[in-house]
Amino acid sequence: MHKPEPPPPFMSLMKEDGQPERLTKILTRAIQDRRYERHYLHWDKLRRHEPPSGLSLKEWWLALKFQRLGQLRPLPLKDKKGSPFQFSVPDFVLEELHNIDRGAGGALRIPEPVMSPQTRDQYLIRSLMEEAITSSQLEGAVTTREVAKEMIRTGRPPRDKSEQMILNNYVTMRRIVELKDQEMSRDLVLELHRLVTENTLDNPDMAGRFRRPDQQVVVDDNYGEVLHEPPPAGELEARCKMMCDFANAKIPNYFIHPVVRAIILHFWLAYDHPFVDGNGRTARALFYWAMLRRDCWLFEFISISAILRKAPIKYARSFLYTETDDNDLTYFIVAQAQVVRKAIDELHAYIDRKTLEVHELESRLKALRMFNHRQAELIRHALKHPHQEYTVESHQKSHGNVYQTARADLLQLMKKGLLNMKKRGRTMIFTPAPDLASRLRKLGQEESK
């Protein structure tokens, strides 16, 4: 991926089209053109579209910049030259924020399984695994989802760096749920970085520590082109303090929607790039902390990285668009607001699918009514994965219960003939009965008599 083409300098365009009559015509024609009103086009994209009738591409861009400049607000975050970043919230983003508020923190369309104490932990653990895996894959982790989930469920040690990254992210996400009531601080930022990078850095001593002045860090593409060079290491302490004040809503002195603040916080840490590695994972961890702290409670169950991984180039370009157009953070806000809304939609769609699956399965397999929700979920999983191995530890981690409860669940299923058991060392290994479906039907028929 290469850097986007930077826009023509605003003042140069003003000199070319600075006559009041001409400016009025340009603005009028541009405002009447409503083709892209739900987009926040960067020059790199705009130059590939047909301008409004009677305008050149540069005149069209000049009109858009005029409209945007009147809406931008400065932020405490500054670039390497000391110029502030700025942002606006276009109308179509306000609509996204409204939908996010309804879907993530309000009382409308709250999925019943998430609210139910019987199944809440199951959905929470599923989402933590999803975010841990996809966030690591965004940063280069290479492993399959099934292998990663098996590692987390069974508690086996990671076999390589990719698995270690995923396990670290899982531990970090669980820790964020515990930390959501704490104010952001330098120590908390460093703790989150240490958690996501434990045993994955070339220099293990740099986990939970800012990069040093002698450690040159840049963001580049696969061809070696430098896409971003962060601020000097000597500024990191002061920049981190400012970032924490922003995260805790102490600055600036005007209201910023909590979702927008969380998105800006995500950008802030990624821009400062204070660590030798793990900056992206730490930035997304800060985003989750900010969302949960502001009572967007459904974010315990939502994975933004699963959406970002589907369009990683778009994610990267939203950073570059901001840096190449006068520090206009609106590009990143637009992109991330859409990601957040899609993540919420995917959670609801996932729960709808699982609810339908449950209803269809339970209508056919009356035997499931004989078991608790944890056992029923294991049976459903075993029907789809006839060669899966289950242990007390994996069942315990999948549902967040205590060891004794998980053990009792599995032993009861074994006594009913639905699971077979063998020992590997001192560990009990449970596998689905080869004729599991027919055994369930038989149990259901016996239960109906």
Q: Write down the pLDDT at residue 311.
A: 87
Q: Is the pLDDT of residue 42 over 80?
A: yes
Q: How far apart are CA 234 and CA 236, in angstroms?
A: 6
Mean pLDDT of 161-182: 92
Contacts of 117 (CB under 8 A, 6+ apart): none
Cα–chain center distance at 386: 32
Q: Is the pLDDT of residue 444 over 60?
A: yes
Q: Write down the pLDDT at residue 360.
A: 63
Element (H, E) at 413: helix 403-415
The structure tokens listed for 60 are 């069209």
The structure tokens listed for 207 are 């986990």
**Of the ranges 32-36, 126-130, 331-335, 401-405, which one carries the lowest mean pLDDT score?**
126-130
Q: Tell me, which fold does domain 74-349 have in CATH?
A: Fic-like fold (1.10.3290)
Q: What stretches of 105-233 show up as alpha helix (H) in DSSP?
A: 112-115, 120-138, 145-154, 161-179, 186-197
Q: Write down the pLDDT at residue 106.
A: 46
Vertex 227 angle, CA 328 and 187, to 5°: 75
Q: What residue type is assigned to position 4 of the chain?
A: P
Q: Write down the pLDDT at residue 368.
A: 77
Give me the chain's average pLDDT, please: 88
With tokens 């449970």, the residue in question is 430
Q: How far apart are CA 252 and CA 424, in angstroms?
A: 59
Vertex 331 angle, CA 326 and 332, to 5°: 110
Q: Does domain 366-448 have CATH number 1.20.120.140?
A: no
Please report which confidence band the pLDDT of residue 92 belongs to, taking 50, 70 and 90 as the band edges.
very high
Question: With pLDDT > 70 as the criterion, what percentage of the chain qualifies?
Answer: 90
Q: How far apart are CA 145 and CA 270, in angstroms?
A: 26
Q: Is the pLDDT of residue 168 over 90?
A: yes
pTM: 0.80
pLDDT tens column, 363-413: 556 677 788 989 988 998 888 888 899 999 999 999 988 999 999 999 999
Q: Is the pLDDT of residue 169 over 80?
A: yes
Contacts of 74 (CB under 8 A, 6+ apart): 84, 85, 86, 252
Q: How far apart are CA 5 and CA 98, in angstroms?
A: 33
pLDDT tens column, 188-229: 999 999 999 999 999 999 999 999 999 989 998 877 889 999
Q: Write down the pLDDT at residue 408.
A: 97
pLDDT tens column, 249-295: 999 999 999 999 999 999 999 999 999 999 999 999 999 999 989 87
Mean pLDDT of 25-41: 88
Residues of the chain within CATH 1.10.3290.10 domain(s) are 74-349
Please report which confidence band the pLDDT of residue 122 belongs to, taking 50, 70 and 90 as the band edges.
low
Please report which confidence band the pLDDT of residue 133 belongs to, taking 50, 70 and 90 as the band edges.
confident
b (16+ CB within 10 A) / e for 265-279? bbbbbbbbbbbbbbb
Please report which confidence band the pLDDT of residue 319 belongs to, taking 50, 70 and 90 as the band edges.
very high
Residues of the chain within CATH 1.10.10.10 domain(s) are 366-448
Phi, psi for residue 383 in degrees, rounded to 5: -65, -35
DSSP string, 67-94: HHHTT-EEEEEE-TTSPEEEE---HHHH
Residue 52: cis peptide before it, omega within 30 degrees of 0: no
Mean pLDDT of 356-369: 66
Given a contact cutoff of 8 angstroms between Cβ atoms, the answer to whether 383 and 419 are in contact is no
Contacts of 307 (CB under 8 A, 6+ apart): 339, 342, 343, 346
Q: Is the pLDDT of residue 120 over 70?
A: no
Residue 176 vs residues 94, 106, 164, 419: alpha-carbon distances, Å: 27, 21, 18, 36
pLDDT tens column, 135-159: 888 888 888 888 888 898 888 999 9
b (16+ CB within 10 A) / e for 310-331? eeeeebbbbbbbbbbbbbbbbb
Q: Write down the pLDDT at residue 187.
A: 98
Q: Is the pLDDT of residue 436 over 60?
A: yes
Please report which confidence band the pLDDT of residue 107 belongs to, taking 50, 70 and 90 as the band edges.
very low
Q: How far apart are CA 142 and CA 328, in angstroms?
A: 34
Rg over CA atoms, the chain: 26
Q: Write down the pLDDT at residue 113.
A: 52
**Of the ranges 115-129, 169-183, 265-279, which one carries the lowest mean pLDDT score?**
115-129
Q: What residue type is assigned to position 383 of the chain?
A: L
Q: Write down the pLDDT at residue 108.
A: 38
**Of the ranges 250-259, 262-271, 302-311, 329-338, which one carries the lowest mean pLDDT score?**
302-311
Other beta carbons less than 10 A from residue 336's beta carbon? 25
Contacts of 68 (CB under 8 A, 6+ apart): 88, 328, 330
